[in-house]
Structure 1
Amino acid sequence: MIRKRFLPVMLCMLIMYACQAGNVERLKDGLLIHLPTPINNGPRQVKLQVVTDKIIHVSAGPGENMATTPSLMAVVTGSPEVDWTSEEKNGEVILKTNALTATVSLGTGQVVFRDMAGNIILQEAAPNGPVFTPVTIDGKNLYRIRQAFASPADEALYGLGQPQTGVMNYKDQDVDLTQYNSIAAVPFLLSSRHYGILWDNYSITRFGDDRPYAQLGDLTLYDKDRQPGGLTATYTSAQQPDNIYLQRQEQQIDYAFLPDMKKIPTAFPMDKGKVTWEGFISPKEDGMHKFFMTTSGYIKVWVDGTLVLDKWREGWNPGPSVFQHLLHKGRQHALKIEWIPESNQAFVSLKWLSPTPEALHNKWMLSSEAGEKLDYYFVYGSNADEVIGGYRQITGRATLLPRWAMGFWQSRERYKTQQEIEQTVAEFRKRQIPLDNIVLDWSYWKQDAWGSQQFDPARFPDPAGMISKLHQQYHAHFMISVWPKFYEGIPNYELFDKKGWLYKQNIKDRQKDWIAQGYVSTFYDAYNADARKLFWQLINKNLFSKGVDAWWLDATEPDVLSNASIEHRKALMNPTALGPADQYFNGYALANASGIYEGQRQANPDQRVFILTRSAYAGIQRYAAATWSGDIAARFDELARQIPAGINFSLSGLPWWTTDIGGFYVEDKYDQPAPQGAAQKEWRELNTRWFQYGAFCPLFRSHGQFPYREMFNIAPDNSPEYKSMLYYDQLRYRLMPYIYSIAGATYHKGYTVMRGLVMDFGADTAVRNIKDQYMFGPALLVNPVYTYEARSRNLYLPANTGWYDLYTGAYTAGGQTISANAPLERMPLYVKEGSILPFGPALQYTGQRAADTITLYVYTGKDAQFSLYEDEGLNYNYEKGQFSNIPLHYNEAAKTLSIGKREGSFPGMLQQRAFRIVKISREKATGLDFNQPAGKTVAYNGEEQTVTL
């Protein structure tokens, strides 16, 4: 009787416990957790999927069912082979692998990651987990998604693609992840705490404070006479400032997109005018206020008399800038802005945010406009390489590009005829300037046939013959520009249109482009798998069949209409085959590249695909895609921004990146056949400094608008500028054994070529904010010069190692900032103590000869090692194991260099070669000189040899 009496109580207690504990389903590769009492706009379900010991896939949704739409960026699924355990206690579910634990709160759905010692690596910010705000877009029920994470004060954050604002460390910064010409958004974040977050979402996303940017008028504004109501806006002639067209008070500066041009005063001639805004701003609270600018033309901004921005961009392509300033409540802070539009289409916008709210202090946040669920991958590692390797494990290996892609490419906007291309390459060979690739930019088709993928026969009478001549006579490769754009009415347009595979809004708008009288056009829907196949079929038939080696995929944001508002840009690509443009806005470049890659691999499985694309997204590295930094300005300040842009792009997990050496578009002072006087001097120095930097980017490429960009058109061959550019071109080719070895490591070992200093010297906190230095592979510290007429530069030598000047061999201890000599002809380069740097023979092109003699420069002081990687360079046999490695090891204690037994083989492999060995030590500074006698020479036949140095 007693048992019967207590049975209902026990059942009630069990039911209460079950309700409190929730329902935890054990899956083959993780856990699905149903929260017992979901909070408003919070998750109802949280899923932990075990990918590896160190990678956990987190999904969460507010509904009864979790969305199962396939990922575009991720190629992995969970692994049931990974050992893991789980338990429930104290209102939490704990999943444990051999490397970390992930804990989910049954009350809030909050996820916390810890290492095996119990230390928190990362935690979703308390008190709540993700926030889901329901939205309906084009009839589809979606969510706006926000997720905050706790962030200790000493954390540094990197990656996020290529924002182009000059920022290196994103701690306490805000980043807008919207694809745009020169802005490549990649939602992968790398932390100094040895974790990464891959945010699996394709909509426009914000990192940091996601409050809407406010108009300047949300501050209290005063004119230049301190009268309240707005800033004094004075519209004048640029050449005659006393000629005032209009003066008035204005509360906002917001000419950001094409529709905003209507707000420009009609009496103001933009191409000849200047606008000055001046007065005072007064905030409602103390603190660091954040400012966001989009500008083209000339812009200068002063706050409290301090110049905070001085920039120029071509009118049609505005770029972003950010700055912060300490403002005090009630105080009037002076603000002055000068804008010279310089053309009838130029843009300027200044927005603002008050200090970061308390709720986001010591946190970072990702928020996306549209998604079916929260979806991210947590990646843990012992170092940055391991974390980036985890990113590639999720999204796919970076394919190995053809070896010739590591050489020098020449391009310009643009070669207009077949004759120009042939003559240019002939001149390179005549002058013995190393070259591997010539690039044909847009408009090789007939004027009214954009999208035909066919050469204009009047200017390119024999394209197949031209390409054959480039291959056979000049040993050069040929890359061509291919846009996803089609003029209305051409046959290729009709092929896509009858299938419904075109974005039609631009057609309905009757929007014309900028060619001649203008033509109506649109882009194809790359999210449609069949449309991608058709796009490749056209390229294969009209271009690949003629011998084209590589693809330049331009305007892949997609840029259907430049400078359209963001909302209109969505309308211009809506709907996609997968769903609303809001949901898939950022992923176009990924989808477009996949079609080219998959098509070519099927058409010719023995030829490596190579793609250059203006936009990028997570996962694009698996499609043999490199990215360049877009249509940037030919300015020293723009050169400075390229350095953190390239570093952060590489820290985003994408190893192949390049920039237009010299900058794409030019100021009027340069826009002539031969700039004169002071402009000529600056132009030559700008290109020389950029060329020095470009030689140590993952890919080495010159491109830009008029004036012509070949080094012999920039400066005469007896000039220091020409000699410097030739020197670095030749040095790049000498370094090919080193460069191709680290290229091989990107595929085989998940390596990164362009390395932020935090990757190799993370324990040295002094490197965390350095944005103008990086490692090129394991040995070379690159220090670009980006200031006009600078002949020295301050640079930091990371601690806990020593450094050798590459040119002289002089040794300097690390852990200090030095002033390095930087004559016009040279950029400071240092070699890390304990490095082996292999140099090959002088080459005119990468395939000219095998590296039968390699000079090993051994920088002593510490043990050193390097693996010399080789394969056939053009095909995919490396995926089948056909490659070789020669391990090199220097033992500091024994003073010996071991050239190890060759591992692996491939067709055509050199069976014998000579290694020349040059020793560099603290006691004996030996400079870089390929004509100097070697200390020792070793005849190598694949068997291990050890020599004493």
Structure 2
Amino acid sequence: MKRFSFFVIFLFVAGRLLAAEAVETLENGMKVHPKGGAAKTIEINVINSRIVRVQASPESTIPQVTSLCVIAGLTPTVPFKVTENAEFAQLSTQELTVKVSLVTGKVSFTDKFGKVVLQEAKRSFSPINVENDKGYTMQQVFSGTPGEAIYGLGQHQSDDFNYKHKSEDLFQYNTKVAVPFIMSTNNYGVLWDNYSQSKYGDPRDYKDLNQFTLFNKQGKKGFLTATYNQKNNAPIIRQESAIDYENLTTVKKFPADFNFNNGSVVWEGEILANQTDIYKFSLYYAGYTKVWLDGKLVVPERWRTSWNPNTYRFPFSLTKGKRTKIKLEWKPDGGVSYVGLKALSSSPIEKNGNISFWSEMGDKMDYYFVAGKNMDDVISGYRTLTGKASIMPKWAMGFWQSRERYKTQDELLNVVSEYRKRKIPLDNIVLDWNYWPENAWGSHQFDLKRFPDAKGMVDSVHKENANIMISVWPKFYATTDHFKQFKQKGWMYMQAVQDSVRDWIGPGYVGSFYDAYSPDAQKLFWKQMKENLYVKGFDAWWMDASEPNIRDCTDMEYRKKLCGPTALGSSTKYFNAYALMNANAIYNGQRETDNNKRVFLLTRSGFAGLQRYSTATWSGDIASRWEDLKAQIPAGLNFAMSGIPFWTMDIGGFCVEKRYGDGQLIFDETGNENADLKEWRELNLRWFQFGAFCPLFRSHGQFPYREIYNIAPEGHPVYKSLVYYDELRYRLMPYIYSLAGMAYHKDYTLMRSLAMDYTADKQTYGVSDQFLLGSGLMVCPVYSYKARSREVYFPSGNRWYDFYTGKQIEGGQKLNIEAPLERIPLFVPAGTILPVGDVMQYTSEKKADDIEIRVYKGKDGKFSLYEDEGNNYNYEKGAFSTINFEYNHANGTLTIGDREGTYEGMLSKRIFRVVAIGNSTAPAKVVQYNGAKMVVKL
């Protein structure tokens, strides 16, 4: 009996000692060594009461690595408690509890009421060695919550919106931006801190069509029939088991004598699946492409230019044992073009609504869980981790005119002059690429034949009260002094030079990109810009090809060779963060040079944390097509819900079909329009109407020219509407700039999904073609040719006003709303207080001393009018003012609060014209405001 008692006591003491070793309390959290599972070590670090960091490793220690996207110095400032029992180690803050299973290592997150918000389902590690780097390929799967919607992941072009039950590839590409952050309508977010090529959702690669049993046109097993049609030549007919011509390597599989310039291809036959399933198909296309399955046109004609393919995904149900007809028609767009069609069976991850992140390489698994009271709170948590968003210079909120490209300084100056002469508002003109001598890319020098006086050009723009942005690439021809400076220090990616990769300019020149992962290379990059461009007075920087895009249309492995090795390690490991490092170079470089002038960067790529470098992203070289116009709405919304508030696009699309761009659009002074010209004008107008309500308002693209007066002549309905929305943008500037101030001061998001403000209404979760600018304007773009109405969903729980007429509509319903050519549907929710100013020719033309305050009755409302100096960083030191407006619906009063704060040049007195909008619109009540609180009876 004594021996038995001693044995029991021994086991109890040994168990307690083992438990003590398994769980360790840290200064900023806890460390756990679970008995099983993929991770030997899991560390939970407290950031604040609603944000925790989770690190996991298959090793006994957690590697200490400096994050590229999360800011340094985040230490807990809140109390937390670590407890344990036989099953779990538990860390609790006031808002959040994190449990780690001592058996499996799985982590779960519960709110302060004990409700599970998110929990891990599966974790895996697989060793990977690349060059001199060792690390792990890893995946973390979470059990998703039924009914939630998932947003974020950056900006993608497949017209996807809610990523619940969906997947997305996370890599940088001309028209894709990978940001590894998601946000749920259940008010939590996950930031995945990894820089390699990653995948959200299903981690599998799409497979060729030979995964199915194939039958050609004659019913022969094993192939599809490919018919290559060529003008003036007999067709080439081949039997092919895959449609895989997606890069410079695989296009070599085309028939050697196939002519891309006047040929077309049809693949047809039947496919037989070995299981009944909803398959995911992925179409990769450049040129004109259509797809039929089972006789149904599942992909109506889509187009992309030959050198810049796009991906479009669609589901289709296949039945085991049943043959399904398949047909793909493809017409190249001239030159080498690309096409592919692949598929995957459905994934349990997608079926179950799980959340999953997979990354090709990292030292450890590293992610942050962010909880919030609402979706804005979650984004605030994201910016706590990755940095606050800067307030852009006020002029950047105005209209930008751009073109690919202004070939001379006279062309550029004439555009500014024409806008001023016509009294069309303009704040920024953009000088795109190729202003340098043809053989001197990266020299930052001007071709003196075309730009004889760059500083004089800049000064002339400034005299017209406009700003000028210039395109700067991280690219250098090998013959330039700048290339040699980088190469001498080992800061140049050399694979393209070693392979003699030539670009598309003139005879083709050899060059490459600098290594932005080196802090010293960043300093040299800014030094070269400062000495050659900044001294000439340029106001802002356009950072093109920042993926980096060293060569178009290569396979992924060669892309990695071209952009590495980096100063930090292999390009496999650091594939996605180049644009962030490049933005860091310029932002900090300019602030060190002149900390009194706001930095502004526009970049084609991005990553988590981009907002802290006063950087916006645009959606790349998209096509001038209606389907691309539509796809920009969810692309911009998901980018904004990735925590980065400033986004824009090429209004009108960048790449132009030959029917528009080959000079056939004759601008007939008599007013006659051929069919293509008529569509071109309408496409640009509908895109412009949408763009006027985006965070940044920017027109850009290839020929035909995109200036308002070049799209349509004065007096034309299209011209009138273009000018109307440009002027409306400026009238809304008090509202828009207040939102920009909120992005910094309150971590606000300007471009908002309906779900952000109406989360309780689940009907909003899938609305991908409407959005809110702030909370006060619901924008409903029109994206179909000749459409003169569109369906609009009005979120429940509010009444909605037509912006133009004041007509009221009850929420909670879908209605077909008129959309004449000159207008898009635009609505204001009850309770909105909307400041509207005068039309201005540029944002600094006059102070907002006379503002119309529109109060939309039916609900209490609040708004804070924000103002600062508009062009410097004094706002970071507290130099700004706010005026709070509060409408009380019950007693019909608008309270205008005491002005809070001061800044140099602030108005001491102003006029507010208060307009109450309800069942009828009463005349404006004109009040003189001197900064003291006042109450206006409506």
Structure 1 counterpart of 2:531: 541
Separation in 1, partners of 2:907, 2:708: 34
- Deviates further, 421-430 or 87-96: 87-96
Per-residue deviation at 1:116? 1.4
**Letter in structure 1 aligned against 2:26:** L
Structure 1 counterpart of 2:207: 214
Separation in 2, partners of 1:137, 1:103: 35
Per-residue deviation at 1:4? 9.5
Matched, 1:891 2:880: no
Q: How does 1:830-849 map to 2 (within 5 A)?
A: 830-849=827-846
Matched, 1:168 2:161: yes
Separation in 2, partners of 1:551, 1:223: 53
**Letter in structure 1 aligned against 2:812:** G
Per-residue deviation at 1:9? 5.0
CA gap of 1:414–1:549, structure 2 versus 1, over 3 A, is: same
Q: How does 1:306-317 map to 2 (within 5 A)?
A: 306-309=296-299, 310-317=301-308
Structure 1 counterpart of 2:429: 438
What's the CA shift string for 1:272-317, capped at 9, x where partnerless? 1110011111111111100112111001011122222221000000
**Letter in structure 2 aligned against 1:140:** D
Q: How does 1:96-107 map to 2 (within 5 A)?
A: 96-107=92-103
Matched, 1:563 2:562: no
Structure 1 counterpart of 2:669: none
What's the CA shift string for 1:338-368, capped at 9, x where partnerless? 0101212111111110121379633221100
The answer to whether the 8 Å contact 2:579/2:605 transfers is yes
**Letter in structure 1 aligned against 2:267:** W
> Structure 1 regions of 5+ residues with no counterpart?
927-933
Separation in 2, partners of 1:359, 1:303: 23
- 2:740 alignment partner, one of 725, 743, 755: 743
Structure 2 counterpart of 1:930: none
**Letter in structure 2 aligned against 1:935:** A
The answer to whether the 8 Å contact 2:183/2:642 transfers is yes
The answer to whether the 8 Å contact 1:274/1:341 transfers is yes
Per-residue deviation at 1:193? 1.1
Structure 2 counterpart of 1:325: 316
The answer to whether the 8 Å contact 1:658/1:700 transfers is yes
Separation in 2, partners of 1:360, 1:828: 36
Separation in 2, partners of 1:850, 1:106: 63
CA gap of 1:730–1:101, structure 2 versus 1, over 3 A, is: same
CA gap of 1:919–1:5, structure 2 versus 1, over 3 A, is: closer
What's the CA shift string for 1:31-72, capped at 9, x where partnerless? 11122x344xx1010011100111011000011221111000
Structure 1 counterpart of 2:562: 572
Structure 2 counterpart of 1:120: 116
Separation in 2, partners of 1:410, 1:702: 5
CA gap of 1:674–1:252, structure 2 versus 1, over 3 A, is: closer
Q: How does 1:640-679 map to 2 (within 5 A)?
A: 640-673=630-663, 675-676=665-666, 677-679=674-676
Q: How does 1:902-917 map to 2 (within 5 A)?
A: 902-917=899-914
**Letter in structure 1 aligned against 2:691:** G
Structure 1 counterpart of 2:131: 138
Structure 2 counterpart of 1:184: 177
Q: How does 1:373-772 map to 2 (within 5 A)?
A: 373-472=364-463, 474-673=464-663, 675-676=665-666, 677-772=674-769
The answer to whether the 8 Å contact 1:234/1:244 transfers is no
Structure 1 counterpart of 2:670: none
Per-residue deviation at 1:855? 0.3
Q: Secondary structure at the match of 1:809?
A: coil
Matched, 1:943 2:932: yes
The answer to whether the 8 Å contact 1:162/1:649 transfers is yes
Separation in 2, partners of 1:366, 1:835: 39
**Letter in structure 1 aligned against 2:599:** V
Structure 2 counterpart of 1:16: 15
The answer to whether the 8 Å contact 2:440/2:479 transfers is no
Separation in 2, partners of 1:946, 1:881: 27
The answer to whether the 8 Å contact 2:155/2:177 transfers is yes
- 1:158 alignment partner, one of 151, 157, 168: 151
The answer to whether the 8 Å contact 1:29/1:78 transfers is no
Structure 1 counterpart of 2:671: none
Structure 2 counterpart of 1:781: 778
Structure 1 stretches of 4+ with a deviation exceeding 6 A read 2-5
Separation in 2, partners of 1:402, 1:80: 33
What's the CA shift string for 1:498-537, capped at 9, x where partnerless? 1010000000000100000000010000000000000000
Q: Secondary structure at the match of 2:726?
A: helix
Q: How large is the Cα RMSD of the aligned pairs?
A: 1.4
Per-residue deviation at 1:223? 1.4
- Deviates further, 634-643 or 8-17: 8-17
**Letter in structure 2 aligned against 1:53:** S
Structure 1 counterpart of 2:188: 195
The answer to whether the 8 Å contact 2:86/2:102 transfers is no
> Structure 2 regions of 5+ residues with no counterpart?
667-673
Separation in 2, partners of 1:38, 1:655: 42
**Letter in structure 2 aligned against 1:49:** N
Matched, 1:293 2:283: yes
The answer to whether the 8 Å contact 2:627/2:783 transfers is yes
Separation in 2, partners of 1:381, 1:562: 41
Per-residue deviation at 1:935? 2.1
**Letter in structure 1 aligned against 2:229:** T
Give the % identical residues: 50
**TM-score normalised by L of structure 1:** 0.97
Separation in 2, partners of 1:273, 1:21: 72
- 1:64 alignment partner, one of 60, 65, 88: 60
Separation in 2, partners of 1:90, 1:64: 21
The answer to whether the 8 Å contact 2:164/2:350 transfers is no
Per-residue deviation at 1:227? 2.4
Structure 1 counterpart of 2:823: 826
**Letter in structure 1 aligned against 2:903:** F
Q: Secondary structure at the match of 1:369?
A: strand
Matched, 1:235 2:228: yes
- Deviates further, 528-537 or 203-212: 203-212
Separation in 2, partners of 1:359, 1:691: 36
- 2:863 alignment partner, one of 818, 841, 866: 866
Per-residue deviation at 1:7? 5.2
Separation in 2, partners of 1:33, 1:77: 23
- Deviates further, 602-611 or 59-68: 59-68
Separation in 1, partners of 2:644, 2:273: 41
**Letter in structure 2 aligned against 1:313:** R
Separation in 1, partners of 2:402, 2:394: 18
Separation in 1, partners of 2:273, 2:177: 33
**Letter in structure 2 aligned against 1:292:** S
Separation in 2, partners of 1:510, 1:18: 63
- 2:107 alignment partner, one of 108, 111, 124: 111
Matched, 1:267 2:257: yes
Matched, 1:95 2:91: yes
Per-residue deviation at 1:245? 2.5
Separation in 2, partners of 1:78, 1:750: 17
Per-residue deviation at 1:22? 4.6
- 1:348 alignment partner, one of 327, 339, 348: 339
CA gap of 1:342–1:47, structure 2 versus 1, over 3 A, is: same
**Letter in structure 2 aligned against 1:436:** D
**Letter in structure 2 aligned against 1:541:** E
CA gap of 1:5–1:113, structure 2 versus 1, over 3 A, is: closer
Structure 2 counterpart of 1:25: 24
Per-residue deviation at 1:77? 4.4
Per-residue deviation at 1:902? 0.2
Separation in 1, partners of 2:663, 2:422: 21
Per-residue deviation at 1:78? 4.4
Separation in 1, partners of 2:351, 2:792: 34
